[in-house]
Amino acid sequence: MTIASESQLATVDASDMLGAIRTLPAQLREGYARARDARAAIGREWPHRERAGRPGPRTLIVCGMGGSGVGGDLLGAAFDVGVPVIAVKGYELPSWASEDDCVVCVSYSGQTAETLSCFRAAVDRATVSAVITSGGELGQLAAQHGVPVVGVQSGMQPRAAVGVLFGSLAGVAEALNVIDDAEDAIESAARAAQAVIDLHVGAGDQDGMTVQLEDDPPALAMARQITDATAVIYGTGMTVPIAWRWKAQINENAKHPAFANAYPELDHNEIVGWERAGACGRWAVIELLGPDILPQNRQRMDVTNGIIEDDLVASLRFQTTALDRAGATFELIVWGDYLATYLALVNGVDPTPVDRIQRLKQELAGA
C-alpha cells in the first residue's frame, strides 16, 4: 500500500517519529551539557600519559550496538580525533585493549547483551571512563564499579536519541582529551540540524501535516522516488559512517532493505555487480558528499554514475552545505532521518516500532 495524502501520513506516524527528529538540536546541547557536568568524575579515571606531546589515552574504545553504537562511528566523522577511536559492535573487546585505552559503553536501554559483556571485560583489563545510558543493568554495573554515568532520559527509541547520545559522547571524549573544542562543534551540529528541520517544518510536517501535495517536504519528495526500491547508500571519507546510519534508519524506520558502501573501494568490485541489478529487483543509489570530499572521489562518483545509471530506478545525491565536519555530519543525519521516516510513511509503515529487534532480544533471553 502506498499512502498519498499528508493527513494519512500523520496518522501512520502514530508515535510521532517526525516530532522526535525535531528534538535533535536540543538533544545535542543537552547531551553535551550532561557530560560536561560529569567531567571531573570522567577525567579522574583516565590514564594520564603523554602521547605525541599531549596527555591522553592510547585509544578510545566506544562499545555499543545499533542506535547506541553509531556515535562511536560518528565521532571520527564529526571531529578531528587525537587518537584512534575504535567502535566495538559485539561481545568482545579487542585483544590488545589494556589500561592504556579508555572505554566508553553506550546503551540507551542499559540492557544490551553485547555492551554489558564489553563492560565486564573492560573493568577487568582497560580503563572504563564512562557509561552513557538511561539506566538498566549497565547503569547498575557502573554504580557498583564506581564508573561515571552520563544519564539520558528514557522513553525514546535509541536511534531517535542519537543527538543526546552523541552530544554526551562528545563531552566524554573531550574530558578524555581525545577531541578539542567540542562545545563549538556541538553548537554547529545543532544549528545545521535545525536548518534541515526548518526546511521540512516550513513545508508542513508539524501539527497536522496541513500542506498540499505539491508542497511535499523535500525528503518526502525523495522518499516517493524510492518507495519500492532497495536503497544503497554510498559515502566517502567522513560520510562513510553516515551512510551506515542512513542504511540503519531506512531498515529500522521504514522496515525496508538498504545497504551501504564506500568510495573508492566500491569501484573495485560493486560497480561490476550492478550489471545484473535489473534481474534482482529495483534499486536506488543515494550518495553522500561532505565538505572535505577529495576531488578524485568526486570524479569517481560522476564516472560511476554514468556507468550504473541505467541499472537504477533512482539516483540521488546529497552535498552538505555546512562547511565544518560536525555541522555536515548532523546536516546529513537529519536528512537521512527524514528520508527514512517519510519512506516509512509513504509505504503505510509506522516508523517507530522495531518488533523484530524486540522479538529477537526476547527469544535470546529465553522469554
Contact between 357 and ligand PA5 by CB under 6 A: the answer reads yes
Q: Which is nearer to ligand PA5, 152 or 222 (CB)?
A: 152
CB of 232 to ligand PA5, least distance (A): 20
Contact between 21 and ligand PA5 by CB under 6 A: the answer reads no
DSSP letter, residue 126: S
Which of these, 336, 340, 170, 328, lies nearest to 237 by C-alpha position? Answer: 328
Contact between 31 and ligand PA5 by CB under 6 A: the answer reads no
Q: Which amino acid is at 314?
A: A
Contact between 60 and 173 (Cβ < 8 Å): yes
ω into 264 cis (within 30 of 0): yes
Q: Which is nearer to ligand PA5, 115 or 168 (CB)?
A: 115
Q: Which is nearer to ligand PA5, 88 or 293 (CB)?
A: 88
- The span of 102-110, 209-217, 223-231, 278-286 binding ligand PA5 (CB under 6 A) equals 102-110
Other beta carbons less than 10 A from residue 1's beta carbon: 7
Which neighbouring-strand residues pair with 230?
283
Residue number, nearest CB to ligand PA5:
66
CB of 277 to ligand PA5, least distance (A): 28
Strand 127-133 vs strand 102-107: parallel, antiparallel, or unpaired?
Answer: parallel
Exposed/middle/buried for residue 108 (C-beta within 10 Å: 0-12, 13-18, 19+) = buried
Contact between 24 and 196 (Cβ < 8 Å): no
- The span of 35-43, 49-57, 151-159, 325-333 binding ligand PA5 (CB under 6 A) equals 151-159
Q: Which is nearer to ligand PA5, 31 or 217 (CB)?
A: 31
Q: Which is nearer to ligand PA5, 57 or 67 (CB)?
A: 67
Contact between 37 and 148 (Cβ < 8 Å): no
Q: Which is nearer to ligand PA5, 128 or 328 (CB)?
A: 128
Contact between 103 and 129 (Cβ < 8 Å): yes
Contact between 250 and ligand PA5 by CB under 6 A: the answer reads no
Query: How far is 68 from 181, CA to CA, in rounded Å?
Result: 23
Of 74, 229, 289, 354, which one interacts with ligand PA5 (CB under 6 A)? 354
Of 127, 157, 227, 251, which one interacts with ligand PA5 (CB under 6 A)? 157
Contact between 271 and ligand PA5 by CB under 6 A: the answer reads no
Contact between 159 and ligand PA5 by CB under 6 A: the answer reads yes
Radius of gyration of the chain (CA): 21
Binding footprint of ligand PA5 on the chain (CB under 6 A): 65-68, 107-109, 112, 115, 157-159, 252, 354, 357
